[in-house]
Structures are given as C-alpha cells and as structure tokens.
Amino acid sequence: MSMIRRKKAATGVNVTFVLDQDTSPGHVSVVGDFNDWTPGTHVLRKRSNGTRSVSITLPVGHRTHFRYLGEGGHWFDDPQVDGHDAQGAYLVP
C-alpha cells in the first residue's frame, strides 16, 4: 500500500509519502527534483502503525517529479501521482 497525504502549510503544502513496511524491503528514500535526486536525503522512517513515511514541504502549484529508491538500487513509482510526463511521475501540490 502507498498513500500520499497533502496538508496546507504556511510555506507551501506539506506532502507525506507513506508506504507499508513490506512494500520494498530495507531502507527506502523518496528522491526528486525537490532534493536534486539525492538518495538518502528523505528516508522513510518506520511508524508504530506498520507503515513508514516522510514529510516534505513543497511549493503550491509547482509540478514536482519524484520516485522511490529502495535498497539495491530498486527504483519504483507511487500509483497515487497526479500524472506522468517525459520526466516521469509528478505531483502538483
């Protein structure tokens, strides 16, 4: 299971990326144009409810591309994106 939650914040939109613990074994980070596609910058942390998540504040109305990167170089996409284009999956918070 994956889920993307959005909540207005003072400086943009707080976007929380949520994955089940068994979605991809090991560490997973969300990488995208908001962190210059740098792995390990936004690592999803384990939660007591059996999920793992990370929150990032993104600018309102700006198309933001991202993917998940699991251990061993395993790239994968979230099915709850706003769309896809030539650069891949994106959100428009």
Task: Provide the phi-psi class of 72: left if phi over 0, else alpha when psi is between -120 and 50, else beta.
Answer: left
Higher-scoring residue by pLDDT: 19, 24 = 19
What CA–CA distances, in Å, run from 43 to 61, 62, 80? 24, 22, 19
- Residue 86 maps to which CATH number? 2.60.40.10
63-83 confidence digits (pLDDT tens): 999 999 999 999 999 988 999
Give me the domain span that covers residue 60. Answer: 2-91
Query: How many structural domains comprise the chain?
Result: 1
Tell me the whole-structure pTM to 2 decimals.
0.91
Q: Which residue has the tokens 């933001």?
A: 64
